[in-house]
Amino acid sequence: MNSIKRLKRTKLQTDETKVRENRILRAQKSNSMNVRKYIFAIGLTMVALYACNNDDDDAPGEVIPPRDRAEQQANEDPIIRKYLETHFFTLIDNPANPDYQIVQFDTIAGANSGEQALIDSDLLETKTITREDPETGEDVNYTLYVLNHRRGAATERQPMFSDSTLVTFRGEQFYENEDEDGDGIPDDADVDADGDNVADQIDGVTRTDKDSDGIADDSDADDDGVAGTDPGKVDSDGDGIIDDKDPVDNNDPNRRVFDSSVTPVWFDLVSIIEGFREAATDYRGASGSTITGDGSVDFNDDFGNLTVFIPSGLAYFDVPPLGTGIGTYKSLIFNIQLYAVNESDHDRDGIPSYLEDLDNDRLVLDSDDNTDNDASPNYLDTDDDGDGTQTRDEITVNDANEDGFISLDEITFYDDDGDGIQNHLDPDDRDSKND
Q: Which of 246, 267, 286 is at the close of a domain?
A: 246
pLDDT recorded at residue 144:
98
Asked if residue 111 and residue 215 are part of one domain, the reply reads: no
Is the same domain home to 187 and 139? Answer: no
216 close to 208: Cβ distance less than 8 angstroms: yes
Residue 282 reports pLDDT greater than 60: yes
- What pLDDT is attached to residue 291? 83
The count of domains in the chain is 3
pLDDT at residue 252, rounded to an integer: 60
Strands of 247-404, DSSP E: 257-268, 289-291, 297-300, 304-310, 332-342, 395-397
Of 342, 370, 397, which marks where a domain is finished?
342
pLDDT tens across 240-262, in order?
888 877 766 555 656 688 999 99
278-300 mean pLDDT: 90
Across all residues in the chain, what is the average pLDDT?
83
Host domain of residue 188: 178-246
Can you tell me the distance from the alpha carbon of 242 to that of 235, in angstroms, rounded to the nearest whole number?
5
Q: What backbone torsions phi and psi does residue 323 show, to the nearest 5 degrees?
A: 80, 5
Whether residues 169 and 192 share a domain: the answer is no
Question: b/e per residue, 315-343, with b = 16+ CB within 10 A?
Answer: bbbbbbbeeeebeebbbbbbbbbbbbbbb
> Looking at residues 40-60, what average pLDDT do you find?
36
pLDDT at 248: 63
Shared-domain flag, residues 157 and 182: no
Domain identity same for 295 and 164: yes
Residue from 12, 124, 26 nearest 326 by CA:
26
Q: Are residues 191 and 169 in the same domain?
A: no
Grade residue 235 by pLDDT with cuts at 50, 70 and 90: confident
| Contact between 42 and 271 (Cβ < 8 Å) | yes
Q: Cβ atoms within 10 A of the Cβ of 282, count?
A: 19
Same domain assignment for residues 257 and 396: no
Whether the predicted pLDDT of 435 surpasses 80:
no
143/281 same-domain check: yes
In 269-331, at which residue ranges do the beta strands (DSSP E only) sit? 289-291, 297-300, 304-310
Same domain, 148 and 236: no
The CA distance from 93 to 305, in Å, is: 15
- Report d(CA 319, CA 142) in Å as an integer: 18
**Beta-strand pair 289-291/297-300:** antiparallel
Judge whether residue 46 has pLDDT over 60: no
